[in-house]
């Protein structure tokens, strides 16, 4: 039976404190430790926000059988999204968007901007940034309904929420799973009549360099303003 969430600042602070002291506890473990179920959305948002500090390469299966990879490195922070028909590379100095096959990429570099489009422009991939934006919006909605469960994705434990009646987002209903590390494990939603589904199939705690570097043949047009 879905639960109607009533999120409070006190509850959010408690969830953050639990994550800091208990590490990778699942939703059911958190509830048993005294965290109210009203705080589950805020807790998951805090858990997913940890993804920004990770070094990793994740492979996702998308709806229709396509695959995409998300690769992130630190010092300096760089994130690359590689998907059928293009790629997106985020760096501190700019954001590079590419279209075409790996052998004939045409790219445009603009000022830095987060990949919060839902889904990622030119792809069916939902990025961790976009998923986190949804969770942060849902955490402020006192009418949200949530059903929690735990699962295993790509051999890793993940906590999940099925959310309904979410206002102020492109989709009023979505399902999301986040791994113990803080990586996006899965995402499902119907947006503007199109069904989006993705699931983590492989995860490694290393940034594969070939995903972060554009092929030598890529054509890059610099449109940065600074």
Q: Using one digit for the tens of pLDDT, what is the confidence trace for 132-166?
A: 999 999 999 888 999 999 999 999 999 999 999 99
Q: What is the pLDDT of residue 115?
A: 87
Indicate if 187 and 216 belong to the same structural domain. Answer: no
Q: What is the pLDDT of residue 30?
A: 44
- The answer to whether 37 touches 3, Cβ cutoff 8 Å, is yes
Indicate if 142 and 170 belong to the same structural domain. Answer: yes
Indicate if 186 and 216 belong to the same structural domain. Answer: no
How far, in Å, CA of 110 to CA of 221, rounded? 9
Of 67, 63, 92, whose CA–CA distance to 79 is shortest? Answer: 92
When divided into structural domains, the chain yields a total of 2
Q: Residue 61: inside a domain, yes or no? A: no
Between 175 and 13, where is the model more confident?
A: 175
What is the sign of the dihedral through the CA atoms of 208, 214, 215 and 216?
negative
Domain interval for residue 192: 3-53+126-204
Question: Taking the mean position of all CA atoms in its chain, how far away is CA 61?
Answer: 14
Q: Cβ neighbours of residue 20 under 8 Å, at least 6 residues apart?
A: none
Q: Residue 168: inside a domain, yes or no? A: yes
Q: What is the pLDDT of residue 102?
A: 83
Rounded to 5 degrees, φ, ψ at 24 are -100, 40
SS3 assignment, position 225:
coil
How far, in Å, CA of 54 to CA of 67, rounded? 21
What DSSP letter does each residue of 116-181 carry, written as one string?
--SS-TTSSPPPHHHHHHHHHHHHT-TT-EEEEEEEEETTEEEEEEEEES--SSS-S-EEEEEETT
Indicate if 215 and 198 belong to the same structural domain. Answer: no
Within 10 Å of residue 106's Cβ, how many Cβ atoms?
13
36: confidence class by pLDDT, cuts 50, 70, 90: very low
Of 136, 125, 131, 115, whose CA–CA distance to 179 is shortest? Answer: 131
Indicate if 7 and 20 belong to the same structural domain. Answer: yes
Q: Residue 37: inside a domain, yes or no? A: yes
Q: Residue 58: inside a domain, yes or no? A: no
How far, in Å, CA of 37 to CA of 40, rounded? 5
Indicate if 135 and 196 belong to the same structural domain. Answer: yes
* Residue pLDDT, tens place only, 82-102: 999 999 999 999 999 999 988
Indicate if 166 and 177 belong to the same structural domain. Answer: yes
Indicate if 162 and 174 belong to the same structural domain. Answer: yes
């Amino acid at each position: 039976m879905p639960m109607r969430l009533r999120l409070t600042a006190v509850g959010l602070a408690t969830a953050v404190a639990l994550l800091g002291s208990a590490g990778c506890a699942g939703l059911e473990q958190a509830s048993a430790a005294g965290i109210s179920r009203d705080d589950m959305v805020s807790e998951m948002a805090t858990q997913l926000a940890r993804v920004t500090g990770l070094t990793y390469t994740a492979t996702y299966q998308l709806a229709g059988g396509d695959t995409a990879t998300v690769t992130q490195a630190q010092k300096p922070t760089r994130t690359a999204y590689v998907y059928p028909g293009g790629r997106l590379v985020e760096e501190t100095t700019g954001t590079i968007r590419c279209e075409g096959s790996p052998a004939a990429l045409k790219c445009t570099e603009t000022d830095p901007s987060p990949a919060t489009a839902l889904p990622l422009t030119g792809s069916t991939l939902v990025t961790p940034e976009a998923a986190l934006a949804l969770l942060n919006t849902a955490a402020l909605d006192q009418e949200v309904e949530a059903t929690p469960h735990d699962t295993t994705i790509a051999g890793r434990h993940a906590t999940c929420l099925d959310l309904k009646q979410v206002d102020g987002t492109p989709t009023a209903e979505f399902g999301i799973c986040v791994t113990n590390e803080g990586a996006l494990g899965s995402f499902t939603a119907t947006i503007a009549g199109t069904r989006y589904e993705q699931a983590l199939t492989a995860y490694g705690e290393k940034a594969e360099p070939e995903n972060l570097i554009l092929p030598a043949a890529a054509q890059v047009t610099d449109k940065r303003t600074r």
